[in-house]
A and B are shown apart, each in its own frame.
Chain A
Amino acid sequence: MALLDKFETAAAIRDQLQAGGHDPTRVVMDRIISPTEGIVEGRHTILAGTNNYLGLTFDPACVDAAKEAISTQGTGTTGSRMANGSFAQHTALEQELAGFFGVPYGMVFSTGYGANLGILMALLNPGDAVLLDADAHASLYDGCQMSGADIFRFRHNDVVSLEKRLQRLGDRARNCLIVTEGLYSVLGDCAPLKEIVELKNRYGALLLVDEAHSLGVYGNNGSGVAEAQGVMHEVDFFVGTFSKSLGAMGGFCASPHPELELVRYVSRPFIFTASSSPSIIASTHQALLQIKNRPELREKLWRNATRLYEGFKSHGFEVGPEISPVVAVRLGAKEVALPFWNRLLEKGIYTNLMIPPASPDQHSYIRCSVSAAHSEQQVETIIEAFSSLRESI
């Protein structure tokens, strides 16, 4: 096979996706109007698939902080922190994040993907064992695989399956890492962290929780699912991203373990990536303040999420197992889901299409992410658009 022949598979996938009219992986927003509105193909479109849970991308305080940082610190850092130095704002944000999770140590990465690679590749070596939730994000899979550790999956959110694997590990369980997420990004279901923590303690394992989709959304302080379930102090490593509720781009890890400070010396994704630009650090700092000081954002988000979830259900759609800011509608075959997604886009509703093998089971889903910035009318419009296409399935 010639070197470039391997792309024939990708071409077939592309052709299949484009057969419906629009390629779901290549939607272009010609203009962004607000956290919840844009112009797509000349149409005014409600954005219901952007993970902008708190709508902070246009928050005046965040925007001003970013502008100010550009004016006073420049557009970029032009290098990695290890080789080219940190800005004071990087280290300040690390301390803020640590405090946000109630732990002493924090570390900032340039992307969420990089944070997961960087932490897992540093924590795990060949010969170590990691127990990974089957529905974990690709960045967690990739980090585990690139570490060279032995990877064992347990069934999604299934503590019985997890315990079986801890038992099978025998003595190795005492030294293994359990990897899970707080809120899962496709079905919008939460990990049973209380039960997982109980197992981790019983078997002497360590626990890493990815709060990428739950930060700013769950818990009285918005720290995530671990806070909401009262087990924050039991988590060994929190990881997450700035690119969802925080409205910017970047990743982090926070931990009670002082060894996190040593990860800087061994984490290749940290060492060899240019550091986040001043505007990103500044707007993220401001977004954290917004999360702390404006609980009303979360209240609005949950009102919208509840209405969308209940609205879909009342029209006979099969939705995820619990109400959350991620609302996924199960449509079964991709031959149904692809045209459904296309018709929604044509009606001015942007959502996310999830089809096998990227979906967590063999079904296809239309995934919506709700925002505190969605108006009640926008939520009703989304429900109406889905409802109008109900007969097509």
Chain B
Amino acid sequence: MNTRYQGTQDKISKLLASYLESSNHPELEAHGEITGETNLVSDFTMDSFQVMEFMMELEETFDIMIDMNSLSNTHTVSDLAQIVSDELERTAK
């Protein structure tokens, strides 16, 4: 685990749980704890619309912008945490 973005990852995990709960995802209960390895698509069958909606929530929460192009290689919560951390670092400079 990269400790550089552990805090960000924890926050994203909570946000994801809350998003999935609000959109009535049946897999949430069975999946258990959301970790860095949690896969948005295969674990929760999120479709492209939902993934992009969740990105917007992250943008608002962290006050950043996420380039849509970066999503093609984003599968797990850990991938997301890295994108958000990079963006937070970039905007802090």
Residues of A within 8 A of B (CB): 132, 134, 144-145, 148, 150-153, 155, 164-165, 168-169, 356-357, 361-362
Contacts and interface: CB of A to CB of B under 8 A. Distances in A.
Interface string B46-59: 01111010011000
Nearest to A132: B68
B69 A362 contact: no
B69 A356 contact: no
Interface of B: 23, 47-50, 52, 55-56, 60, 63-69, 91
B29 to A, nearest CB: 19
A150 B47 contact: no
The DSSP consensus for interface residues of chain B is: helix
A-B complex: 7 closest residue pairs judged by Cβ atoms: A357-B49, A151-B68, A357-B47, A150-B67, A152-B65, A168-B65, A357-B48
A151 B23 contact: no
B50 A362 contact: yes
A134 B49 CA distance: 9
Contacts, number: 38
Contacts of B48: 357
Contact of B49 (A151, A152, A155, A356): A356
The DSSP consensus for interface residues of chain A is: mixed
Nearest to A170: B91
Contact of B65 (A134, A165, A362): A165
A155 B23 contact: no
B73 to A, nearest CB: 14
5 contacts: A134-B52, A150-B67, A151-B67, A168-B91, A362-B49
A145 B69 contact: yes
Contacts of B52: 134, 153
A185 to B, nearest CB: 16
Given A134-B56, A155-B56, A169 B49 contact: no
Contacts of A134: 52, 56
A168 B64 contact: yes
Contacts of B66: 152
Given A145-B68, A153-B56, A155-B56, A168 B49 contact: no
A349 to B, nearest CB: 27
A145 B66 CA distance: 14
A60 B67 CA distance: 49
B1 to A, nearest CB: 29
